Amino acid sequence: MVIANTVRDSIVDGPGLRFTVFTQGCPHGCPGCHNPATWPFEGGEEVTVEELLRRLGDDPLCAGLTLSGGEPFCQAAECAELARRAKQRGLNIWVYTGYTYEALIEEADPDRLALLAASDVLVDGPFVEALKSYEALYRGSTNQRLIDLNATRRTGKLNLWTRPDPLAHFTRPSS
């Protein structure tokens, strides 16, 4: 697997503290991309899934693994393996992609489908500079969707992820 970088304790790539892997190589080349250094398929650091799992460690505060890029679906088999192994540790898995969910499903590539199957949330669609928003939760532009893949698999139709209400478990005293 070829990566550009990893970030420990990210708070911008999904909820909670996350271990983020930035893959090397992206075919999309979105104008205004925040990470154009990841576009070339040459360069980066060659690592094994085992090495990434070692870097991930056993931090009890880490809530999840995020695969970003570059384009994780260009290394789908390796990313799927990493996601499966991280999920076995109890982590939730988020994947950022410039492809749409529908295009990935229609393509029916087994490795890409395996990565979708190992993931909990897909942030899909290209970054569109004209739709850039600092208020778009966990997204760079408002066209990108946060797809709840677990709910989508369960219902058979596309479901968007919504941030849980952190106060939902508190009850108000009755009057």
What kind of architecture, by CATH, is found in domain 2-155? Answer: Alpha-Beta Barrel (3.20)
- The domains of the chain are located at 2-155
Are residues 119 and 81 in contact, defined by beta-carbon separation less than 8 angstroms?
Answer: no
| Residues whose CB falls within 8 Å of the CB of residue 101, separated by 6 or more in sequence, listed in order | 116, 122, 124, 145, 147, 152, 158
pLDDT confidence of residue 166: 72
Amino acid sitting at position 72: P
Closest alpha carbon to 74 in 46, 106, 102, 39: 39
pLDDT of residue 174: 61
Beta partners for residue 62, in sequence order: 17
pLDDT reported for residue 169: 66
Smallest CA-to-CA distance from 56 within 85, 76, 77, 80 is with 85
Please check whether residue 52 is in contact with residue 7, taking contact to mean a CB–CB distance below 8 angstroms.
Answer: no
Q: How do beta strands 92-96 and 17-23 pair?
A: unpaired
Burial class from Cβ neighbours inside 10 Å (0-12, 13-18, 19+) for residue 103 reads middle
Q: Helix, strand or coil for residue 114?
A: helix
Q: What is the pTM of this model?
A: 0.93
Task: Per-residue pLDDT tens, the chain, 175 aa: give them.
Answer: 999 999 999 999 999 999 999 999 999 999 999 999 999 999 999 999 999 999 999 889 999 999 999 999 999 999 999 999 999 999 999 999 999 999 999 999 999 999 999 999 999 999 999 999 999 999 999 999 999 999 999 999 999 999 887 766 666 556 5
pLDDT (0 to 100) of residue 164: 82
31 HSE (CA, 13 A, CB side)? 4
Strand boundaries in 55-118, DSSP class E: 62-68, 92-96
